[in-house]
Chains A and B, each alone.
Chain A
Amino acid sequence: GQNIDQPTEMTATEGAIVQINCTYQTSGFNGLFWYQQHAGEAPTFLSYNVLDGLEEKGRFSSFLSRSKGYSYLLLKELQMKDSASYLCAGMDSNYQLIWGAGTKLIIKP
């Protein structure tokens, strides 16, 4: 079956670094996405990895290991506005996204 696992909730301190992990199982694999979703709003695209390694985009970086079925999203210099849910989604062989339930990130001052 297809499945995405990520922690339900994480707490971090403003200015710190946090890593949100995701493991995935998909039928075929066409990449791994991370989305940010603020409460009551739609998801917004953060990153896409299809090859192994680290992709850096400003304060956010995303890592993929295809052999381990594993990804993480790294957020640096945390700001209060980063409080949101972070959704991991794997793209299967039909180019459909298999979504995780999201990790709610709470930032404390």
Chain B
Amino acid sequence: DAMVIQNPRYQVTQFGKPVTLSCSQTLNHNVMYWYQQKSSQAPKLLFHYYDKDFNNEADTPDNFQSRRPNTSFCFLDIRSPGLGDAAMYLCATSRAPDGPYEQYFGPGTRLTVT
């Protein structure tokens, strides 16, 4: 089945220790997104890629970086995690501009910072 895969599902890191989260997709969608979601809050868009074009949200901290080496894979790097970065990180994909526009989500990576 076509899907969005995220690894790992759970990640524990120490304060200030870099961490990388990965996402892959078999949907062949051209748009990929990284969201941060904290408990009982809306998903917060960090970045998205439209094909190879990288789009950084204005309020995404510099501590967060992303890479998309090819259509199928995308990575989220947190250079120096702080306690406030503990959250669920969601990867999603969609197809644009022709649609359908719904975003398909991976299962998420829950990040704990100790």
Chain A residues within 8 Å of B, Cβ to Cβ:
4, 30-31, 33, 40-45, 48, 85, 87, 91, 95-97, 99-102, 104
Are the C-beta atoms of A48 and B100 separated by less than 8 Å? yes
Chain B, interface SS category: loop
Contact of B43 among A41, A43, A45, A48 (CB under 8 A): A43
Q: For A96, list chain B residues within 8 Å (CB).
A: 45, 48
A27 to B34, CA, bound (A): 21
Are the C-beta atoms of B40 and A101 separated by less than 8 Å? yes
Give min CB distance, B62 to chain A, whole Å: 21
**A42-B90, A48-B100 known; A99 vs B105 contact (CB < 8 Å):** no
A87 to B102, CA, bound (A): 13
Q: Can you list 22 contacts pairing A with B, beta carbon distance less than 8 Å?
A: A4-B42, A30-B101, A33-B102, A40-B88, A40-B110, A41-B107, A41-B108, A42-B90, A42-B105, A42-B108, A43-B90, A44-B105, A45-B102, A45-B104, A87-B42, A96-B45, A96-B48, A99-B42, A100-B42, A101-B42, A102-B40, A102-B42
Give min CB distance, A2 to chain B, whole Å: 12
Are the C-beta atoms of A48 and B41 separated by less than 8 Å? no
B64-108 with Cβ < 8 A to chain A = 88, 90, 96-97, 100-108
Contact of A97 among B41, B97, B103, B107 (CB under 8 A): B103
Which of A42, A43, A99, A102 has the most chain B CB within a 10 Å cutoff? A42
Give min CB distance, A22 to chain B, whole Å: 12
